Structure 1
Amino acid sequence: MKNYLEKLQENIEGKVNSMNSYFKSETLKSRHTFTRKLVFLAPIFTMLLSIFLQPHYFQTNSYNWWYIIILPGMISLECSFVANSDKKMKNMGVLSLPVDLKRVWISKIFVCAVLIAAASAIHLFGNIFTGNILGLGSAGRIYILNEVAGSIVLVITFLWQIPLCLFLGSKIGMFPTILINLVAYSVLGILGAVEKIWYLIPYAIPARLMCPILKLLPNGMPAVKESQTFKPELLSSSVILPGIIIALILFLILTFITAKWYEKGEAI
């Protein structure tokens, strides 16, 4: 029994070290590229846009524009760049070495997830500093704990987009991927989030969960009785856990399917 446990531990450690090597390799490919710069540019642009256009509603606009427009666009760009990083080097990194293509693909997904989480963290801290500490935008103030919860939930509920956008970026290119994503979130994300069937529309999940967390409607209005499209049930926190579970399951399914596709070498 002891020998079995030792071999199992060695096997697990070997797989972890192997994945770590693949992750480092994919991370190095993004060094000194626009993908790294976008981590800072996207959240800063969102906050500056809110400051210059509607400073009194700084935080509510900053968050609404972040998850409806900027973050979906950023994910599309990041994934397209990462998906095509090997093609720019004529696939030498995956053809000249005995690599596991499935692990290469999963590493690309992890890299994109880290970049998106980093951008979300910058957006979060920027909003806390500018809105809660400096006091800009008192009319659209959001409590710090709600901002933290909202940012974490947004990262989780957007994860499923990573394998999908990596796949689309590889198959149809950057601009069609961006167009599909932005249109889907602008239409399905806004309209579907306030409907009873929101859980059947993956694009609507982030916006739906922000209603009880940030007290913010998908159209950017506060979630109060006087606002258009407001419904009392939108403030129910009972949707948060189911929404997260649906998004995570979809992420795992898409990761498995796209990893199998990449393993066949169809993107190389």
Structure 2
Amino acid sequence: MMLEYIQAENLKCKKTFLKKLILFAPMVTFLIAYISGTWFQINAFNSWYMMILPGYIALMAVMTNEKEQKKLRYRAVFGLPISLKKIWISKVLVNGIYMTLSCIVLSVGIILAGYKFSVTVPFSRALIAAVLIAVTSLWQIPLCMFLAKKLGMLGTVLINVCGSFILSALAAITSLWWICPYSWTARIMCPVLGDLPNGNLAKIGDPLLNPIVITIGIIMSAIIFALLVIVSANWFSKQEVN
């Protein structure tokens, strides 16, 4: 059963830094937002989905790969009479669960910060934003896991962080935002949070506040996530021990 594979992958992460990242990544985001001062809530969300989260996903992928690669070069996996596709999918899902938990931690922290800083993001919108960020970022997990196995840490982190930071800022505010997956989260955050990818508040009537992009972003994210999981799982199932 798939649940057994997921439980096994989760057990592998017990007492590892990978699990500590669930709390550590949001804490780094809070620190960056705190330095910014007044606009803590908005800046926390912006820093999270444009820079910290892509780096976090890349690091998770690298650590997931290194757990198998460094010790036995995947011999403990490839040599067993088990489904390699399910192994890969379970790794993706476990990373997805960790990432979602981090988004929830971030949202709770941002909501609580409203008691100290100016409330720029209402309670309900903070929760919705956390869920949407997680959903529209899931596709990065199978991509980064593939990159981690092919390129290692440096290549994976550079591609995912730079891709998000540069492309989300450039493409999200254009009419062609839907072409670039890295811009999807930034674009749908405009109507949810009421601000632009650069952190400035959007003016009333700004076309970027059109909520239709939320539905489009969710659908496209689900499609590309499913495609990347299927393609990468098929690729992984054909791997052999070097």
Structure 1 residue 89: Cα displacement: 2.9
CA contact (8 A) 1:83 1:108 kept: no
Q: Which amino acid aligns with 1:127?
A: I
Q: Percent identity?
A: 37
For residues 212 and 47 of structure 1, the distance between their equivalents in structure 2, rounded to whole angstroms, comes to 22
Residue 146 (structure 1) aligns with: 125
Per-residue deviation, 1:84: 2.6
Q: Please name the residue that 2:50 is paired with.
A: 68
CA contact (8 A) 2:2 2:86 kept: yes
Question: Given the alignment of the two structures, is residue 167 of structure 1 paired with residue 150 of structure 2, yes or no?
Answer: no
Please state if 1:210 is matched with 2:177. Answer: no
Unaligned runs of 5+ in 1: 1-17, 226-230
Residues 137, 185 of structure 2: 8 Å contact kept: yes
Structure 1 vs Structure 2 CA RMSD = 1.4
Q: Is the 8 A contact 2:58 2:144 kept in 1?
A: yes
Contact 2:129/2:189 (<8 A) preserved: yes
Aligned: 1:233 with 2:210: no
Q: C-alpha separation between the residues in 2 aligned to 1:159 and 1:249?
A: 11
Deviation at 1:216, TM superposition (A): 1.4
Say which is worse superposed, 151-160 or 75-84, in terms of deviation. 75-84
> Could you tell me the TM-score, scaled by structure 2's length?
0.96
Which shifted more, 182-191 or 254-263? 182-191
Superposed counterparts of 1:1-268, under 5 Å: 18-51=1-34, 53-90=35-72, 91-131=74-114, 134=115, 136-138=116-118, 141-224=120-203, 232-265=206-239
Structure label with greater radius of gyration: 1
**Distance between the aligned counterparts of 2:68 and 2:113, measured in 1?**
39
Cα distance between partner residues in 1 of 2:165 and 2:219: 23
Displacement after TM superposition at 1:203 (Å):
0.4
Aligned length: 241
Q: In 1, are the aligned partners of 2:78 and 2:84 still within 8 Å (CA)?
A: no
Runs (4 or more) in structure 1 with deviation over 2 Å come to none
Q: Write the distance in 1 (CA, Å) between the matches of 2:31 and 2:181.
A: 29
Over 3 Å counting, the alpha-carbon distance change for 1:202 and 1:266 in structure 2 is: farther
Taking the aligned partners of 1:241 and 1:146, their CA distance within structure 2 comes to 16
Show the counterpart of 1:3: none
CA–CA separation in structure 1 for the residues paired with 2:28 and 2:221 = 27
Distance in 2 (alpha carbons) for counterparts of 1:200 and 1:101: 32
- Give the distance between the partners of 2:3 and 2:209, measured in 1 at CA: 41
Q: How far did 1:137 drift?
A: 2.5
Structure 2 gap ranges (5+): none
State the distance in 1 between where 2:206 and 2:241 align.
47
Amino acid at match of 2:209: L
Distance 1:185 1:232 in 2: 23
